[in-house]
Amino acid sequence: MSETISFGDLRIAYDDRVLRPRPWTAGQSLWAAELMGHAPPGPVLELCCGAGQIGLLAVLTSDRTLVCVDADPAACAYAVDNAATAGLSHRVEVRLGRLDEVVLPDERFPVIIADPPWVRRDETRRFPEDPLLAIDGGFDGLDVARACLAVIAAHLVPGGSALLQVGSVAQAEVLRDELPAYAASLILAELRELEGGVLIRLDRRS
């Protein structure tokens, strides 16, 4: 059965098939909204969108369009419904499928938001209330984050920024050290620790 939760100025619907929205992740939305204020023109991309709350809140007060991507049909259905509830259907496109398949080769984005699962596979049993697909990040918790990095490297415009959510500073440092394998022009510009995780800002040099 669906439940709803307040997320910033939004009401977000979800059920036990998708990850319950975490209020602390609104910090990612607000940071993304700030970046939009001086980013190049163009749409915003959200990877691993879940019920869509982070991307929807990020674009709520802007005029930018949003492309939401997730591999879970239930998550995509809620993202569509939550966009409609927020009055944003005309600015939001939801795509179901693998990250590397549903973002088209010639698409470019000035702001990318990525919310991958980042729990280590051997620790997922600690969170029995959460859907496995939404939290299982593989052996070191970074498998899906690396897939997001590949999309960011291929689709972030020069002068653009991406915000990638991970679980710890240690995970952020691993990805920082791996960045050259994805794109020499990507830099880790800033790291912020929030109540429940860590946000990495990646910039593409012009």
User: Residue 27 is encoded by which pair of tokens?
Assistant: 């910090």
Strand order in the sheet with 186-193: 92-96, 66-70, 44-47, 109-114, 156-166, 198-204, 186-193
Q: What's the CATH code of the domain at 61?
A: 3.40.50.150
Query: 149 and 163 in contact (C-beta within 8 Å)?
Result: no
Query: 21 and 5 in contact (C-beta within 8 Å)?
Result: yes
The pLDDT value given to residue 206 = 73
Residues spanned by the domain of 144: 3-204
CB-CB neighbours of 5 under 10 Å: 15
The pLDDT value given to residue 101 = 95
Question: At a CB cut-off of 8 Å and minimum separation 6, what does 181 contact?
Answer: none
Angle at the Cα of 198 from the Cα atoms of 197 and 199, rounded to 5 degrees: 130
List, for residues 121-140, the tens digit of each pLDDT value.
999 999 999 999 899 999 99
List, for residues 158-169, the tens digit of each pLDDT value.
999 999 999 999
List, for residues 40-96, the tens digit of each pLDDT value.
999 999 999 999 999 999 999 999 999 999 999 999 999 999 999 999 999 999 999
The pLDDT value given to residue 1 = 85
Average pLDDT value for residue range 169-177: 96
Transcribe the chain into DSSP letters: --EEEEETTEEEEE-TTSPPPPGGGHHHHHHHHHHHTTSPSS-EEEES-TTSHHHHHHHTTS---EEEEES-HHHHHHHHHHHHHTT-GGGEEEEES-HHHHS-TT--EEEEEE----B-GGGGGG-TTS-HHHHB--TTS-HHHHHHHHHHHHHEEEEEEEEEEES-HHHHHHHHHHGGGT-TTEEEEEEEE-SS-EEEEEEE--
What total of structural domains would you count in the chain? 1
The pLDDT value given to residue 163 = 98
The pLDDT value given to residue 160 = 97
